Amino acid sequence: MNLLAVDIGNTDIKFGIFRDGQLTDQWRATGTRTHPEKFSAVLRDSLARTGLQFGALAYTSVVPDIEYVFRKTIQYCYNLPDHRIFAVDPARIQLPLDFSHYPLQQLGMDRLVNACSARLLYPNTDLIIVDFGTATTFDLVSADGVYWGGAIAPGLNTFAACLPEKTAKLPWVDITGKRAEDIGMGQNTIACLEVGLGIGYRGMIKELLKESIEALDTTEFLAVATGGLAEVVLRVCGLETRFQQTDSALTLKGLALLYDYNRLTLSPG
Protein backbone atom coordinates (compact mmCIF):
# COMPACT_ATOMS: atom_id res chain seq x y z
CA MET A 1 0.00 0.00 0.00
CA ASN A 2 1.38 3.41 -1.00
CA LEU A 3 1.61 6.09 1.65
CA LEU A 4 1.20 9.79 0.90
CA ALA A 5 3.23 11.98 3.28
CA VAL A 6 2.40 15.70 3.37
CA ASP A 7 4.28 18.47 5.17
CA ILE A 8 2.21 21.67 5.26
CA GLY A 9 4.62 24.55 5.86
CA ASN A 10 4.27 28.31 6.05
CA THR A 11 5.19 28.79 2.39
CA ASP A 12 4.90 25.45 0.58
CA ILE A 13 3.18 22.09 0.82
CA LYS A 14 5.61 19.21 0.41
CA PHE A 15 4.33 15.84 -0.85
CA GLY A 16 5.97 12.43 -0.97
CA ILE A 17 4.83 8.97 -2.04
CA PHE A 18 6.34 6.00 -0.21
CA ARG A 19 6.28 2.50 -1.66
CA ASP A 20 7.42 -0.24 0.72
CA GLY A 21 8.95 2.41 2.95
CA GLN A 22 10.98 4.04 0.16
CA LEU A 23 10.42 7.59 -1.07
CA THR A 24 9.78 7.20 -4.80
CA ASP A 25 8.11 10.49 -5.75
CA GLN A 26 8.13 13.96 -4.23
CA TRP A 27 6.92 17.41 -5.25
CA ARG A 28 5.77 20.68 -3.74
CA ALA A 29 3.03 23.25 -4.25
CA THR A 30 2.69 26.82 -3.06
CA GLY A 31 -0.52 28.02 -1.48
CA THR A 32 -0.56 27.55 2.28
CA ARG A 33 -1.31 31.23 2.85
CA THR A 34 -4.35 31.28 0.56
CA HIS A 35 -8.00 31.28 1.59
CA PRO A 36 -9.12 27.76 2.66
CA GLU A 37 -11.23 27.32 -0.49
CA LYS A 38 -8.30 28.30 -2.71
CA PHE A 39 -6.03 26.04 -0.71
CA SER A 40 -8.41 23.14 -1.32
CA ALA A 41 -8.21 23.81 -5.06
CA VAL A 42 -4.39 23.98 -4.95
CA LEU A 43 -4.34 20.67 -3.11
CA ARG A 44 -6.73 18.89 -5.48
CA ASP A 45 -4.89 20.21 -8.53
CA SER A 46 -1.48 19.19 -7.25
CA LEU A 47 -2.57 15.65 -6.45
CA ALA A 48 -4.55 15.25 -9.67
CA ARG A 49 -1.61 16.29 -11.86
CA THR A 50 0.60 13.54 -10.44
CA GLY A 51 -1.89 10.74 -11.10
CA LEU A 52 -0.32 8.82 -8.20
CA GLN A 53 -2.41 6.51 -6.05
CA PHE A 54 -2.16 5.97 -2.30
CA GLY A 55 -4.04 4.08 0.36
CA ALA A 56 -2.94 5.94 3.48
CA LEU A 57 -1.94 9.45 4.51
CA ALA A 58 0.54 10.78 7.07
CA TYR A 59 0.74 14.52 7.53
CA THR A 60 1.87 17.39 9.68
CA SER A 61 0.98 21.08 9.54
CA VAL A 62 2.23 24.33 11.02
CA VAL A 63 -0.75 26.24 9.59
CA PRO A 64 -3.75 25.38 11.82
CA ASP A 65 -6.27 27.40 9.77
CA ILE A 66 -6.07 25.04 6.79
CA GLU A 67 -5.53 21.70 8.52
CA TYR A 68 -9.26 20.92 8.74
CA VAL A 69 -9.74 21.82 5.05
CA PHE A 70 -6.77 19.67 4.10
CA ARG A 71 -8.04 16.59 5.92
CA LYS A 72 -11.60 16.90 4.64
CA THR A 73 -10.41 17.47 1.06
CA ILE A 74 -8.28 14.32 1.16
CA GLN A 75 -11.11 12.25 2.65
CA TYR A 76 -13.64 13.52 0.11
CA CYS A 77 -11.45 13.14 -2.97
CA TYR A 78 -9.81 9.83 -2.09
CA ASN A 79 -12.41 8.17 0.14
CA LEU A 80 -9.90 7.55 2.92
CA PRO A 81 -11.34 6.29 6.22
CA ASP A 82 -10.13 7.83 9.46
CA HIS A 83 -7.92 4.86 10.34
CA ARG A 84 -5.93 5.42 7.14
CA ILE A 85 -5.12 9.01 8.11
CA PHE A 86 -2.18 9.54 10.44
CA ALA A 87 -1.90 13.04 11.88
CA VAL A 88 1.10 14.00 13.98
CA ASP A 89 -0.48 14.65 17.36
CA PRO A 90 1.80 13.97 20.35
CA ALA A 91 -1.22 13.27 22.54
CA ARG A 92 -2.38 10.44 20.28
CA ILE A 93 0.75 8.77 18.88
CA GLN A 94 3.86 7.01 20.12
CA LEU A 95 7.12 8.97 19.86
CA PRO A 96 10.67 7.56 19.75
CA LEU A 97 12.08 10.41 21.86
CA ASP A 98 11.79 11.71 25.40
CA PHE A 99 10.20 15.17 25.11
CA SER A 100 9.80 15.73 28.86
CA HIS A 101 12.23 18.67 28.84
CA TYR A 102 10.18 20.73 26.35
CA PRO A 103 6.47 21.72 26.48
CA LEU A 104 5.03 19.81 23.54
CA GLN A 105 2.14 22.24 23.14
CA GLN A 106 4.73 24.86 22.14
CA LEU A 107 6.76 22.68 19.79
CA GLY A 108 6.12 22.99 16.05
CA MET A 109 5.13 19.63 14.62
CA ASP A 110 7.65 20.00 11.80
CA ARG A 111 10.41 20.28 14.41
CA LEU A 112 9.04 17.28 16.27
CA VAL A 113 8.94 15.20 13.08
CA ASN A 114 12.48 16.25 12.11
CA ALA A 115 13.82 15.26 15.53
CA CYS A 116 12.04 11.90 15.45
CA SER A 117 13.10 11.29 11.86
CA ALA A 118 16.77 11.90 12.63
CA ARG A 119 16.54 9.72 15.75
CA LEU A 120 15.09 6.80 13.80
CA LEU A 121 17.54 7.21 10.90
CA TYR A 122 20.62 7.74 13.08
CA PRO A 123 20.00 6.02 16.43
CA ASN A 124 22.35 6.29 19.42
CA THR A 125 23.91 9.47 18.01
CA ASP A 126 24.08 13.06 19.30
CA LEU A 127 22.18 15.02 16.67
CA ILE A 128 21.89 18.64 15.58
CA ILE A 129 19.07 19.01 13.07
CA VAL A 130 18.88 22.34 11.22
CA ASP A 131 15.86 23.05 9.02
CA PHE A 132 16.42 25.90 6.54
CA GLY A 133 13.05 27.25 5.41
CA THR A 134 10.85 30.27 6.09
CA ALA A 135 12.41 30.02 9.54
CA THR A 136 15.70 28.34 10.37
CA THR A 137 15.29 25.97 13.29
CA PHE A 138 17.82 24.06 15.36
CA ASP A 139 16.79 20.90 17.22
CA LEU A 140 19.04 18.94 19.57
CA VAL A 141 18.73 15.23 20.30
CA SER A 142 21.09 13.35 22.61
CA ALA A 143 22.43 9.89 21.89
CA ASP A 144 20.27 8.45 24.67
CA GLY A 145 17.09 9.71 23.00
CA VAL A 146 16.31 12.95 24.80
CA TYR A 147 15.05 16.03 22.97
CA TRP A 148 16.81 19.11 24.41
CA GLY A 149 15.16 21.94 22.47
CA GLY A 150 17.08 24.26 20.17
CA ALA A 151 16.68 27.63 18.48
CA ILE A 152 14.46 29.49 16.00
CA ALA A 153 15.79 32.23 13.71
CA PRO A 154 14.59 33.94 10.51
CA GLY A 155 15.16 31.94 7.35
CA LEU A 156 17.60 33.34 4.78
CA ASN A 157 14.86 34.81 2.56
CA THR A 158 12.96 36.13 5.59
CA PHE A 159 16.22 37.69 6.79
CA ALA A 160 16.78 39.24 3.36
CA ALA A 161 13.24 40.68 3.22
CA CYS A 162 13.56 42.73 6.42
CA LEU A 163 15.55 45.69 5.09
CA PRO A 164 13.55 46.42 1.91
CA GLU A 165 10.36 46.12 3.96
CA LYS A 166 11.56 48.46 6.72
CA THR A 167 13.59 51.03 4.74
CA ALA A 168 12.73 53.46 1.95
CA LYS A 169 15.72 52.96 -0.36
CA LEU A 170 17.38 49.63 0.28
CA PRO A 171 16.43 47.12 -2.44
CA TRP A 172 15.69 43.43 -2.32
CA VAL A 173 18.87 41.46 -3.01
CA ASP A 174 18.73 37.83 -4.07
CA ILE A 175 21.90 36.03 -3.02
CA THR A 176 20.61 32.49 -3.47
CA GLY A 177 22.71 32.04 -6.61
CA LYS A 178 25.94 33.15 -4.93
CA ARG A 179 28.78 31.09 -3.52
CA ALA A 180 30.60 32.05 -0.33
CA GLU A 181 33.82 32.78 -2.20
CA ASP A 182 31.98 35.31 -4.41
CA ILE A 183 31.09 37.53 -1.46
CA GLY A 184 33.64 40.07 -0.18
CA MET A 185 33.37 43.37 1.64
CA GLY A 186 31.17 45.65 -0.42
CA GLN A 187 32.08 48.77 -2.41
CA ASN A 188 28.53 49.58 -3.47
CA THR A 189 25.10 49.21 -1.87
CA ILE A 190 24.22 45.90 -3.51
CA ALA A 191 27.57 44.37 -2.58
CA CYS A 192 27.24 45.66 0.99
CA LEU A 193 23.84 44.01 1.27
CA GLU A 194 25.28 40.76 -0.07
CA VAL A 195 27.97 40.88 2.61
CA GLY A 196 25.49 41.52 5.38
CA LEU A 197 23.20 38.76 4.18
CA GLY A 198 25.81 36.15 3.23
CA ILE A 199 28.59 36.62 5.77
CA GLY A 200 26.18 37.84 8.43
CA TYR A 201 23.96 34.80 8.05
CA ARG A 202 26.99 32.51 8.08
CA GLY A 203 28.06 34.03 11.38
CA MET A 204 24.67 33.39 12.92
CA ILE A 205 24.59 29.74 11.81
CA LYS A 206 28.16 29.10 12.98
CA GLU A 207 27.46 30.60 16.38
CA LEU A 208 24.25 28.60 16.81
CA LEU A 209 26.11 25.43 15.82
CA LYS A 210 28.76 26.20 18.42
CA GLU A 211 26.13 26.72 21.12
CA SER A 212 24.37 23.51 20.07
CA ILE A 213 27.54 21.46 20.44
CA GLU A 214 28.17 22.97 23.87
CA ALA A 215 24.57 22.26 24.94
CA LEU A 216 24.90 18.60 23.93
CA ASP A 217 28.30 18.49 25.68
CA THR A 218 29.73 16.29 22.96
CA THR A 219 32.60 16.03 20.50
CA GLU A 220 31.02 13.24 18.44
CA PHE A 221 27.81 14.37 16.77
CA LEU A 222 25.96 14.34 13.48
CA ALA A 223 24.79 17.68 12.04
CA VAL A 224 21.89 17.19 9.62
CA ALA A 225 20.70 19.97 7.28
CA THR A 226 17.20 19.86 5.83
CA GLY A 227 14.54 22.19 4.43
CA GLY A 228 13.95 23.78 1.07
CA LEU A 229 16.83 26.27 1.43
CA ALA A 230 19.38 23.87 2.92
CA GLU A 231 21.61 23.48 -0.12
CA VAL A 232 21.33 27.19 -0.94
CA VAL A 233 22.31 28.36 2.56
CA LEU A 234 25.21 25.92 2.85
CA ARG A 235 26.57 27.05 -0.52
CA VAL A 236 26.05 30.79 0.02
CA CYS A 237 27.50 30.67 3.53
CA GLY A 238 30.28 28.18 2.79
CA LEU A 239 29.06 25.77 5.45
CA GLU A 240 29.04 22.51 3.49
CA THR A 241 31.74 20.95 5.66
CA ARG A 242 29.88 21.79 8.89
CA PHE A 243 27.08 19.31 8.09
CA GLN A 244 27.68 15.60 7.69
CA GLN A 245 24.26 14.98 6.15
CA THR A 246 21.99 17.07 3.92
CA ASP A 247 18.53 15.65 3.38
CA SER A 248 15.83 17.96 2.03
CA ALA A 249 13.24 15.18 2.49
CA LEU A 250 13.92 14.58 6.19
CA THR A 251 10.43 15.71 7.27
CA LEU A 252 8.65 13.58 4.68
CA LYS A 253 10.77 10.58 5.65
CA GLY A 254 9.97 11.28 9.29
CA LEU A 255 6.24 11.14 8.57
CA ALA A 256 6.62 7.73 6.92
CA LEU A 257 8.86 6.51 9.75
CA LEU A 258 6.42 7.67 12.43
CA TYR A 259 3.55 6.06 10.54
CA ASP A 260 5.47 2.79 10.50
CA TYR A 261 6.54 3.23 14.14
CA ASN A 262 2.90 3.58 15.14
CA ARG A 263 1.32 1.14 12.71
CA LEU A 264 0.65 -1.49 15.37
CA THR A 265 -1.49 1.02 17.26
CA LEU A 266 -3.58 1.93 14.22
CA SER A 267 -6.94 0.34 13.61
CA PRO A 268 -6.73 -2.72 11.36
CA GLY A 269 -7.72 -2.46 7.75
- Please name the residue ranges forming H helices in 146-242: 156-166, 189-216, 230-237
SS3 label, residue 245: strand
Is 110 in the active site? yes
Residue in 45, 82, 110, 126 annotated catalytic: 110
Q: Identify the burial level of 44 via C-beta atoms within 10 angstroms of its C-beta, where 0-12 means exposed, 13-18 middle and 19 or more buried.
A: middle
Give the integer Cα–Cα distance in Å for 239 and 234: 5
**DSSP secondary structure, 119-137, as one string:** HHHSTTS-EEEEEESSEEE
E strands, the chain, in order: 3-8, 12-19, 22-30, 56-61, 85-87, 127-132, 135-141, 147-154, 222-226, 245-246
- Which active-site residues does the annotation give? 110
